[in-house]
Amino acid sequence: MAMLEIRDLEVYYGVIQAIKGISFEVNEGEVIALIGANGAGKTTILHTVSRLINSKSGNIIFEGRDITKIPPHQLVEMGMAHVPEGRRVFAYLSVLENLLLGAYTRKDRDEIEESLQNVFKRFPRLEERKKQHAGTLSGGEQQMLAMGRALMSRPKIILMDEPSMGLSPILVSEIFSIIKEISASGTTVLLVEQNAKKALEIADRAYVLETGKIVLDGPANELAENEAVRKAYLGE
Amino acid sequence: MSFISYLVNGISLGSVYAIIALGYTMVYGIAKMLNFAHGDVIMIGGYVTFMIMSTMGLSPWLGIVAAVVVCTLLGVVIEKIAYKPLRGASPLAVLITAIGVSYFLQNIALLIFGANTKSFTSVVSIPDLVLADGQLTISGETIVTIIASVIIMIAMTLFIKKTKTGRAMNAVSEDKGAAQLMGINVNKTISITFAIGSGLAAIAGILLVSSYPALTPYTGAMPGIKAFVAAVFGGIGSVPGAMIGGILLGVIENLSKAYISSQLADAIVFAVLIIVLLVKPTGILGKEIREKV
């Protein structure tokens, strides 16, 4: 059984249909990439999965439970974390406070401290800056904070929305190798990326979106060789 | 000596404004709305205490506790019935609703308690402090008001800074969507904020009518507006701003009454607000709008 299953999802913004009947699944341990041009509906899908926006029809099944109607804040406790587009760190709170908010639903004090140390081990820059307001961090550091904050909930699956956006090439590589590490440590990853090349490098499987529909899917390495994908998304 | 007396009384009045302003500013920070009914919650708190103490003849402590409980529940109920259905509606609709709730509370009080001014018996029983060979007298109410507000401000600052709920409130005030992604129940957090703000309003109301013992259904209106001014003055959304704004406002008002004109005092208060906003539109401690991509 898939860990996360999306069935015939349709999402509207007012009268405009953004997602036109999409089905896909994410199995435990996989890294799944959703790729596609700006406006294809990638972010909308993630927002619908984490219940920030409502779907018109279709189902979202997470670990066997239909989550299509439950309030968004309950998903964290069920094991889903979402690193949103544009990081959305709490700019006026300190780095440490941001990370502790990531563990908001947890009640195990000692283990929260342990998770915090793990995050600091993975992102040493965050420990150096833990007292600083998150708004004063650089874009790359904010991305690391957003990822660390999501990890603080000890998620089973982590949704990542454009983690490489606006970052320098060196940082992009760093962020992607961290995503690989997160996956290696046992967390399932659903990744939305405009940087299709990088996304296909680390993903197991991928879905290609065009104006609200899935037009192609398959193992990431095969898609990376696909003529149409290379032309449209890899700039070749 | 009289200057010190005016100043101390100004700080005391300002402390009341500050406690009310805390409620205004916290609700604004989290629900992004101006709860113009906040001032009338003060008046309800005053009446509850009046009923317990004067009508039933019970202890002032019981009166205070009852007022806090009633106002806390009232705040939560107002939010549930009047404001929650309007979440996502235009700010103007919410504002008009808040004004409606304000009139509703005033008229309910008018219906239950009548229009006659009730003479409120002070809840404070400590004696006046006489200093400098009788040249300076500070009333027990003034002392209690200042001490109570200092305690409330320290407690609120610690609550917001140190507790999980406080952190959740900060998160919701900054980015509701991201807060939900942390597992924070935004509706519950808004409810808690209304509960705290209204509970504080009850205390402010009791302190206010202990010093100025005339209680009518409109008792909360003017202090409510002044506290709103204080919150904007200090930077709406900022907790320390509400405290500073409240105390400054009380001091300016009292000194204007003493040295310029008691009729012009309110006009001066609002003139100061206009000047502050012209120079610094976000208020004294207001956050600059800062965005980072």
Q: Provide the pLDDT for residue B291.
A: 42
Q: Is A90's CB within 8 Å of B183's CB? A: no
Amino acid identity of residue B221, one-letter, is A
DSSP for A194-205, please give it. S-HHHHHHH-SE
Residue B188: closest C-alpha in chain A: A73
Q: Provide the pLDDT for residue B288.
A: 59
Residues from chain B contacting residue A89 (CB–CB below 8 Å): 178
Residue A109 has pLDDT above 70, yes or no: yes
Reported pTM: 0.90
Q: What is the enclosing helix (H) or strand (E) of A192?
A: strand A188-193
Neighbours of B148 (CB within 10 A): 18
Closest to B37 measured CA to CA, from B97, B111, B84:
B97
Q: Is A90's CB within 8 Å of B175's CB? A: yes
- Closest Cβ opposite residue A135 in set B164, B170, B290: B290
Residues from chain A contacting residue B168 (CB–CB below 8 Å): 101, 104
Which whole number is the average pLDDT over A61-67?
95
- Closest Cβ opposite residue A88 in set B164, B178, B186: B178
Strands annotated E in A77-138: 80-83
Give the strand pairing for A31-36 and A57-62: unpaired
Q: Is B181's CB within 8 Å of A101's CB? A: no
Angstroms from B173 CA to nearest CA on chain A? 10
Q: Is B292's CB within 8 Å of A166's CB? A: no
pLDDT, tens digit, 9 for 90 and up, residues A143-168: 999 999 999 999 999 999 999 998 99
Measured CB to CB, residues of chain A less than 8 Å from chain B are 50, 52, 71-77, 81-82, 84, 86, 88-93, 97, 100-102, 104-105, 135, 139, 142, 149, 153, 166
Backbone angles phi, psi at B119, to 5 degrees: -90, 110
Return the minimum-mean-pLDDT range out of A200-209, A213-222, B268-277. Answer: B268-277
Closest to B101 measured CA to CA, from B32, B172, B43:
B43
Q: Provide the pLDDT for residue A236.
A: 66
Angstroms from B289 CA to nearest CA on chain A? 11
Domains and CATH numbers, chain A: 1-79+157-163+190-235 (3.40.50.300)
10-residue averages of pLDDT along chain B (293 residues): 89 95 92 92 96 90 96 97 92 94 96 91 83 82 93 94 94 94 96 96 95 92 92 88 93 94 90 88 73 40
> Does the beta carbon of B170 lie under 8 angstroms from any beta carbon of chain A?
yes
| A to B CB pairs, distance under 8 Å | 73
- Closest Cβ opposite residue A92 in set B164, B178, B287: B287
> ipTM, 2 decimals?
0.93
Round the average pLDDT of chain A to a whole number and report it: 94
Q: Is A106 in contact with A154 (CB distance < 8 Å)?
A: yes
The Cα A10–Cα A23 span in angstroms is 10
Interface with A, mutate which of B167, B175, B181, B185 (most A CBs under 10 A): B181
> Does the beta carbon of B167 lie under 8 angstroms from any beta carbon of chain A?
yes
Residues from chain B contacting residue A74 (CB–CB below 8 Å): 183
Residue A39 backbone class (left: φ over 0; alpha: ψ -120 to 50; beta: rest): left
**Per-domain residue ranges for chain B?**
12-220
Q: Is B178's CB within 8 Å of A100's CB? A: no
Q: Is A65 in contact with A72 (CB distance < 8 Å)?
A: no
Neighbours of A110 (CB within 10 A): 6
Residue B178: closest C-alpha in chain A: A88
pLDDT, tens digit, 9 for 90 and up, residues A6-53: 999 999 998 999 999 999 999 999 999 999 988 889 999 999 999 999
